[in-house]
Structure 1
Amino acid sequence: MTTTLGTASADPGEIDTGRLEVGETRDGSPFGLPVAVVNGAKSGKTLYMQAVSDGDELNGVGVVRRVVPQLDPAELSGTILIVGIVNYHAFQVAEHRNPIDDTKMNRAYPGNAAGTSSERIAAATFEAATRADLILDLHQGSTSRMIDEVRVRCGTRHRLHGECLELAKVFGCGYILDQKGPDGQLARAAPDEGIPTVDPELGGAVGWDETSVRKGVEGVFNVLRYYDFLEGQRDPDPQTRAKGFEQFGAPAGGLVDLKPDLGDRVSAGETLFTVTTPFGEPKQTVTADSDGILWRSRRLPQVATGEYVCSVATDIDEY
């Protein structure tokens, strides 16, 4: 059966790319999101994948541009629907939020086809996503430094929690954050429609980084094999799961000297960072409140009083 997404249309055993039109720019020209359809020669499940929901989170499109050329629809069972760049306007100006309506796109789902710019894009991509059996919403830590993780955002009491957690484990970044997300996230909205959805947060960088992109590509192929899109299924590796965060801000202005590295285990009372003057004179020291893992930190060393410095993941187990 022919499968279409926007102007992309593929018969079984074919790949096609095109555009999903969602509105017009300020000069009245129509614009569309870049989309791809990979229609397997054999029947099977449907996977939906999207990237750049936040306009400066580029590791996801780095994954997409490597995954698609490696796909052979003759060897594929089922269908893959891809939106390569969701936040069109923010991507054009390398910003996080949609500059047309100053909205974070991943707070706009399930969207509104007659609403704001972000709501219209969310509605169009949500319609595509809910055609699928599984959803991967590729993100990264924007400009923060961050470990590679997969986020399960539906909440532990959701009827699909187990299926979302399984999908996160299969993706296999090594770390899972299992914490209910804010309203408006795709990974919150799609499980309500009965579709297991996860939010891989592929590191953090300005632009993209090779290590996180490579992990993302591996994660996509892990999913394709485990869920029988491709042959070669393997059992997923155990993952380190965190269920909470403690965030730390600067108690004084100056330059931050972070002590542990990303991914390091820390103990309650252990020094996380010190704040110094430009001459190296100590001003304040901040310690961990609980045992956990250094999960995320700011990229630049300079801070003002109260400015975000780092996050420690807590309530850790192996899943």
Structure 2
Amino acid sequence: MTTLGTASAEPGEIDTGRLEVGETRDGSPFGLPVAVVNGVEPGKTLYLQAASDGDELNGIGVIRHVVPQLDPAELSGTILIVGIVNYHGFQVAEHRNPIDDTKLNRTYPGNENGTSSERIAAATFEAATRADLILDLHQGSTSRMIDEVRVRCGTRHRLHDDCLELAKAFGCGYVLDQKGPNGQLARAAPDEGIPTVDPELGGCVGWDDSSIRLGVEGVFNVLRYYGFLPEAVEPSPQTRANGFEQYGAPCGGLVTMVPDLGDEVSTGETIFEVTTPFGERKATITADSDGILWRTRRLPQVATGEYVCSVGTDVDTF
């Protein structure tokens, strides 16, 4: 039998439950929604989680489509799932955990006696490190972003090639291969010997059906590639960016983007313009390097120095 919180499943079974991690302000216990899918045959263990950032909902959309499609009778191995990690942020549709005003995906591996976010991170890290592979589902918050997978351990890490292989198996089409900030699950788990990636499934307010569909396909690609499911799959070539250049507004006004998300840009090519409300051009911003338009702000209005967009640089195919 495999358990996660109150969810318990014998081989060939699925169960759902709660992973208790603390109490709310009125003293009531709360728990994260969890599921265990226990294959009829032995095999690897995959850990899957979503919404460590409380307003990033596409990952939840992926999980709610993936689980009903799983048949333990056809599965080898086990899947451990935490459907919503940032419980408090999710309740109020906020990116950070409002209890301690913390970005939860900067607190791994956590502390079981620490802050609210550290306690949630510790509980989910304990579950994650029972696995052989980890998928931490994200999106570009409420910005507009291409669908991509992030390898965050750094190119010098002993598990870099394994993490890159996992990203390629997921098969979004784009990979960002850049060392991430301390405290990310995808930084902490490889130190424990577990290949881990962040699929960043677009960016939206609420959720986006096309990104969710791509995420569902990605999870099943991983399940097939690593032998959880019987059908073999050969990963397709991925476009990789090894760096980011961010662009801010040199003045206030209204932004008009010239290339679209995923378009290639060349050094010196116009990326965006800033105009007055009357259409008078105030600034034209050009690319400093060749790359791919990766992410943009959603709203057109900007103040001086405010973030506008990101270009993925040092691009190759693998």
Q: TM-score, normalised by structure 1?
A: 1.00
For 2:316, the aligned partner's letter is D
Report the equivalent of 1:289.
288
Aligned pairs (5 A) from 1:280-319: 280-319=279-318
For 1:290, the aligned partner's letter is S
Report the equivalent of 1:64.
63
Aligned pairs (5 A) from 1:151-230: 151-230=150-229
**CA distance in structure 1 between the partners assigned to 2:19 and 2:232 by the alignment:** 33
Helix, strand or coil at the partner of 1:62 = helix
Report the equivalent of 1:236.
235
**CA distance in structure 2 between the partners assigned to 1:235 and 1:34 by the alignment:** 33
For 2:59, the aligned partner's letter is G
Matched residue pairs, number? 318
Helix, strand or coil at the partner of 1:199 = strand
For 2:60, the aligned partner's letter is V
**CA distance in structure 1 between the partners assigned to 2:230 and 2:65 by the alignment:** 19
CA apart distance, 1:279: 0.8
CA apart distance, 1:6: 0.1
CA apart distance, 1:66: 0.1
1:210-254: CA deviation from partner (whole Å, max 9, x where unpaired): 110000000000000000000111110000000000000000100
**CA distance in structure 2 between the partners assigned to 1:83 and 1:243 by the alignment:** 30
1:53-72: CA deviation from partner (whole Å, max 9, x where unpaired): 00000000000000000000
**CA distance in structure 1 between the partners assigned to 2:300 and 2:230 by the alignment:** 46
**CA distance in structure 1 between the partners assigned to 2:39 and 2:294 by the alignment:** 38
**CA distance in structure 1 between the partners assigned to 2:292 and 2:281 by the alignment:** 25
For 1:73, the aligned partner's letter is P
1:144-171: CA deviation from partner (whole Å, max 9, x where unpaired): 0000000000000000000000000000
**CA distance in structure 2 between the partners assigned to 1:46 and 1:94 by the alignment:** 31
Helix, strand or coil at the partner of 1:68 = helix
Report the equivalent of 2:25.
26
Helix, strand or coil at the partner of 1:118 = helix
**CA distance in structure 2 between the partners assigned to 1:102 and 1:190 by the alignment:** 24
Report the equivalent of 2:124.
125
**CA distance in structure 2 between the partners assigned to 1:137 and 1:233 by the alignment:** 23
**CA distance in structure 1 between the partners assigned to 2:290 and 2:157 by the alignment:** 27
Aligned pairs (5 A) from 1:252-263: 252-263=251-262
For 2:214, the aligned partner's letter is K
For structure 2, which runs of at least 5 residues remain unmatched after alignment?
A: none
For 1:156, the aligned partner's letter is T
Helix, strand or coil at the partner of 1:150 = strand
1:31-72: CA deviation from partner (whole Å, max 9, x where unpaired): 000000000000000000000000000000000000000000
1:163-195: CA deviation from partner (whole Å, max 9, x where unpaired): 000000000000000000000000000000000
**CA distance in structure 2 between the partners assigned to 1:229 and 1:170 by the alignment:** 13
Report the equivalent of 1:99.
98
**CA distance in structure 1 between the partners assigned to 2:230 and 2:284 by the alignment:** 52
Q: Does 1:113 align with 2:112?
A: yes
**CA distance in structure 2 between the partners assigned to 1:45 and 1:201 by the alignment:** 24
Task: Tell me which stretches of 4 or more aligned residues in structure 1 moved more than 2 Å.
Answer: none
Q: Does 1:272 align with 2:271?
A: yes
For 1:27, the aligned partner's letter is D
1:97-121: CA deviation from partner (whole Å, max 9, x where unpaired): 0000000010000000000000000
For 2:90, the aligned partner's letter is F
CA apart distance, 1:207: 0.5
**CA distance in structure 1 between the partners assigned to 2:303 and 2:133 by the alignment:** 42
Q: TM-score, normalised by structure 2?
A: 1.00
Report the equivalent of 2:134.
135
**CA distance in structure 1 between the partners assigned to 2:8 and 2:234 by the alignment:** 34
Report the equivalent of 1:5.
4
**CA distance in structure 2 between the partners assigned to 1:18 and 1:203 by the alignment:** 29
**CA distance in structure 2 between the partners assigned to 1:215 and 1:233 by the alignment:** 18
Aligned pairs (5 A) from 1:77-88: 77-88=76-87
Helix, strand or coil at the partner of 2:163 = helix
For 2:241, the aligned partner's letter is A
Taking only aligned residues, the RMSD between alpha carbons, in angstroms, comes to 0.3
Helix, strand or coil at the partner of 1:47 = strand
**CA distance in structure 2 between the partners assigned to 1:191 and 1:216 by the alignment:** 22
